[in-house]
Amino acid sequence: MFVEPLPITALRGVGPKLAERLRRLGLHTAADVLLHLPLRYQDRGRLTAISQLQPGMEAQVEAVVASSSEVTTRGRRCLLCRLSDGTGILTLRFFHFSPAQRQWLGQPDTRLRCFGEVRASYGGGLEMIHPECRRLDADPPPVENRLTPIYPATAGLQQFTLRGLAEQALEQLDSAVLLPEWLPPVLLAQLQLSPIAEAVRLLHQPPVDTPVAELESGRHPARRRLAFEELLAHQLSLRRLRESTRRQAAPPLAGGGLCQRFVERLPFALTAAQQRVLAEIAADLAQPRPMLRLLQGDVGSGKTVVAAAAALRAVESGAQAALMAPTELLAEQHDRNLRTWLEPLGIEVAWLTGRLTGKARRLALERLASGAVQVAVGTHALFQEAVVFAELALAIVDEQHRFGVHQRLALREKGRVGGRCPHQLIMTATPIPRTLAMSAYADLDTSTIDELPPGRLPVTTVAAPDSRRDEVIERIRRACRDGRQAYWVCPLIEESEALQCQAATVTAEYLAERLPELRIGLAHGRLPAAAKEAAMTAFKAGELDLLVATTVIEVGVDVPNASLMIIENAERLGLAQLHQLRGRIGRGATASSCVLLYRPPLSQTAHARLAVLRECHDGFEIARRDLELRGPGEVLGTRQTGEQSLRVADLLRDQDLLNAARYAADRLLRDHPERVEPLIRRWIGAGARYGEV
Ligand code: ADP
Ligand code: MG
């Protein structure tokens, strides 16, 4: 049933050079041309009288040349042509013109049809600069009966080229199988979707009476038809990926006395939410198929302890567990926590990051390979070539949105030993709005810790211009005098890490001058590991009052006595990051405050971000607002990796389609499995296909 898609070079006029330019727009096949939708449309379906023109509008006029002259203004020669249609005068201005153009624009009474943007000219009156002009003869053609599409383009690609290609592809829509309909008629009827050919034709050549605003905002049913199919293709791709992993064998892990003893020895009782997710995880781990589970929970909800309990199930079954963190600092902290919890139970924990070298590294690797080490903690260095596990049964990723689908895949591959695949638990420190979780993590099951440990007080948050720095410094003085501890965070304002660390160093010196009675420490990425660790340990032990740091403390750092946080340049940070940072305080018994220092003037979005943070403490709600303010690429941290880029759909605008897309994915996988591959192929480019690994 499936035929190879027609390459773009099969279209008339597409040679290697043009093909290369089209490739830059992500267009590889003839079908891609049809899925490259116009950004906006121009209405050449009507004529506007010159007297009705307003500056700023795009309009089409029909008029005759009244006079024409070449002038030179500010060193630039240009051709001015005055048109009259009996209701007024319009000037056309050309900076470039051919001799032929000059000839016919210079002939009074030549009849023209011009389309362009109207602006007020310097000398008064209205003009169009470089309008599209067409000379009319005695028998003028009718005005267009369709809106003119304007496509996203790139250097060296003209609108008329793209328009021509789209027209050509549309002509072949019926004869060739450019865009076969893969959605079964029942589904189309049920979801009230039009056939794809119809939708595509409308979007490229809408009749003049089509509501332009609906088309351009993406709310037109034809656009939603395509957005739906794209979301469906992504669902299918992730689901297929999941199924291929789930078909593999995994070691079933049973829990017993060890897990029990661990929980009993903790200095606190697990929250009901922690117990619930732990039970969900345990049920998965007992299966002979790999667990693929996402553990969500707000900052401070206690995910680490859940991870440790899960790791114990691997240990109890005589296998190993690995916990991977996104940063060295967090890896160190997990290492400390796990040692405190697990070593008393007789379990050996190893630490592996890029920094571990020489003999210590060799030893750690040996003990991992022999199985002497039961739990490994580290950064992505854990999954490098040289690292061999005796039997890795559970891989835990403290993801913090920094690993995308591809990395998750790499991880699955890494842990595969003798045809067995490790179980996987992915923890996100920043909650992901449900809609995003449903699309970006459709290959995972989800567990959510929706409850904080008892006794947490909400953090009072204020925003202040940095002119009020002195007051803030006094506040630190008072808090520390009362035996509390504080963070001063200097986030990234310079592109380079070096400069960022320098800013933290300078700030620490300045604060030391202003607050001589306080014990001040410094933590940033450029410090030698030992110094950084020493500062963190001293701060944790209460031997420092104030810790000046870069955003390295963003994730995981846990010092309950710290109850004041100052964040400089808060206007430069995203909501999720601010929420993460703020999550470092409010962990103890005293009420905590967070001061967001900003440098005025605030942009509108920065203002909105700071307001959300002042009002809101729930990570899920913050994530939802973040999605509105920044869009899904940023929220998922995938903008950099280019992953999950959608062509037509917009996760925010089209979120109401996601449920239907999931439903349709179920139906297709069950009733029409042969349509799955072509649908994925149509929408997900060759380079980004997840399902083939
Ligand atoms: P996160 O979910 O942000 O990773 P952590 O695992 O770092 O949170 O936990 C935050 C703090 O809460 C830690 O000090 C941890 O020991 C503590 N904690 C975890 N669970 C509980 C609980 N049930 N009761 C009290 N404190 C808890
Ligand atoms: Mg954590």
Q: Are residues 36 and 51 in the same domain?
A: no
Q: Are residues 391 and 368 in the same domain?
A: yes
Domain boundary among 583, 616, 649: 616
- The two beta strands, 111-120 and 132-136, are antiparallel
Ligand 1 pocket, residue 589 CB under 6 Å: no
Spatial neighbors of 640 by CB under 8 A, at least 6 apart, are none
Q: pLDDT tens for residues 333-353?
A: 889 889 999 999 999 999 988
Q: Are residues 498 and 519 in the same domain?
A: yes
pLDDT (mean) for 253-257: 84
Q: Are residues 311 and 383 in the same domain?
A: yes
Beta-strand ranges (E) seen in 320-473 are 320-324, 349-352, 375-378, 392-398, 423-428, 445-449, 460-465
In a domain? residue 124: yes
**What's the domain range around 391?**
257-449
Ligand 1 pocket, residue 582 CB under 6 Å: no
Q: pLDDT tens for residues 514-568?
A: 999 999 999 887 788 778 878 888 998 999 999 998 876 655 567 889 999 999 9
Whether residue 420 is predicted with pLDDT greater than 90 in this model: the reply is no
Q: pLDDT tens for residues 226-243?
A: 999 999 998 898 888 888
Q: Are residues 123 and 80 in the same domain?
A: yes
User: Angle at Cα 640 formed by Cα 634 and Cα 646, nearest 5°?
Assistant: 65
Spatial neighbors of 574 by CB under 8 A, at least 6 apart, are 609, 626, 630, 634
Q: pLDDT tens for residues 652-691?
A: 788 889 889 999 999 999 999 999 999 999 998 654 444 3
- Phi, psi (rounded to 5 degrees) for 278: -65, -40
In this prediction, residue 5 carries a pLDDT of: 80
Q: Are residues 186 and 306 in the same domain?
A: no
Distance, CA of 375 to CA of 397 (rounded, Å): 13
Q: Cβ of 145: how many Cβ atoms within 10 Å? A: 11
**Top mutation candidate among 558, 584, 592, 620 for ligand 1, by most atoms within 8 Å of CB:** 558
Q: Are residues 486 and 590 in the same domain?
A: yes
Q: pLDDT tens for residues 129-159?
A: 999 888 898 888 888 899 999 999 888 888 9
> Which of 386-395, 406-415, 626-635 is modeled with the greatest confidence?
386-395
Q: At what angle do helices 328-342 and 257-265 cross, to 10 degrees?
A: 100
Distance 348 CA to ligand 1 centre (A): 22
In a domain? residue 366: yes
| Confidence class for position 433, pLDDT limits 50, 70, 90 | low
In a domain? residue 687: no
| Confidence class for position 400, pLDDT limits 50, 70, 90 | low
Ligand 1 pocket, residue 333 CB under 6 Å: no
Residue 579 to residues 403, 587, 691: CA-CA distances in angstroms?
A: 19, 14, 34
User: Angle at Cα 176 formed by Cα 172 and Cα 177, nearest 5°?
Assistant: 120
**Protein residues with C-beta less than 5 angstroms from the ion ligand 2:** 556
In a domain? residue 495: yes
% of the chain with per-residue pLDDT over 90: 52
In a domain? residue 626: no
- Contact between 223 and 648 (Cβ < 8 Å): yes
Q: Are residues 93 and 165 in the same domain?
A: no
Region of poorest pLDDT, from 297-311, 325-339, 366-380: 325-339
Q: Are residues 119 and 209 in the same domain?
A: no
CATH number at residue 356: 3.40.50.300
pTM above 0.75, yes or no: no
Domain boundary among 105, 123, 143: 143
In a domain? residue 376: yes
In this prediction, residue 639 carries a pLDDT of: 40
Domains in the chain, number:
4
Q: Are residues 68 and 171 in the same domain?
A: no
Ligand 1 pocket, residue 149 CB under 6 Å: no
Domain boundary among 92, 120, 143: 143
Whether residue 604 is predicted with pLDDT greater than 90 in this model: the reply is no
In this prediction, residue 417 carries a pLDDT of: 65
pLDDT (mean) for 391-399: 88
- Contact between 264 and 418 (Cβ < 8 Å): no
SS3 state of residue 529: helix
In a domain? residue 623: no
CATH number at residue 98: 2.40.50.140
Q: Cβ of 478: how many Cβ atoms within 10 Å? A: 10
In a domain? residue 14: yes
pLDDT (mean) for 173-185: 87
Residue 503 to residues 496, 564, 581: CA-CA distances in angstroms?
A: 11, 20, 18
Ligand 1 pocket, residue 268 CB under 6 Å: yes
Q: Are residues 406 and 392 in the same domain?
A: yes
pLDDT (mean) for 491-503: 67
**Top mutation candidate among 263, 264, 266, 268 for ligand 1, by most atoms within 8 Å of CB:** 268
Q: Are residues 296 and 418 in the same domain?
A: yes
Ligand 1 pocket, residue 128 CB under 6 Å: no
In this prediction, residue 70 carries a pLDDT of: 79
Whether residue 26 is predicted with pLDDT greater than 90 in this model: the reply is no
Ligand 1 pocket, residue 305 CB under 6 Å: yes
Spatial neighbors of 449 by CB under 8 A, at least 6 apart, are 271, 273, 274, 277, 295, 296, 297, 298, 301, 302, 303, 306
In this prediction, residue 517 carries a pLDDT of: 95
**Top mutation candidate among 301, 330, 559, 581 for ligand 1, by most atoms within 8 Å of CB:** 301
Q: pLDDT tens for residues 46-56?
A: 899 999 999 99
Distance 300 CA to ligand 2 centre (A): 7
Distance, CA of 600 to CA of 571 (rounded, Å): 9
Ligand approaching nearest to the C-alpha of 337? 1
SS3 state of residue 152: coil
Compute the mean pLDDT over every residue in the chain, rounded to the nearest whole number: 86
pLDDT (mean) for 274-280: 96
| Confidence class for position 642, pLDDT limits 50, 70, 90 | very low
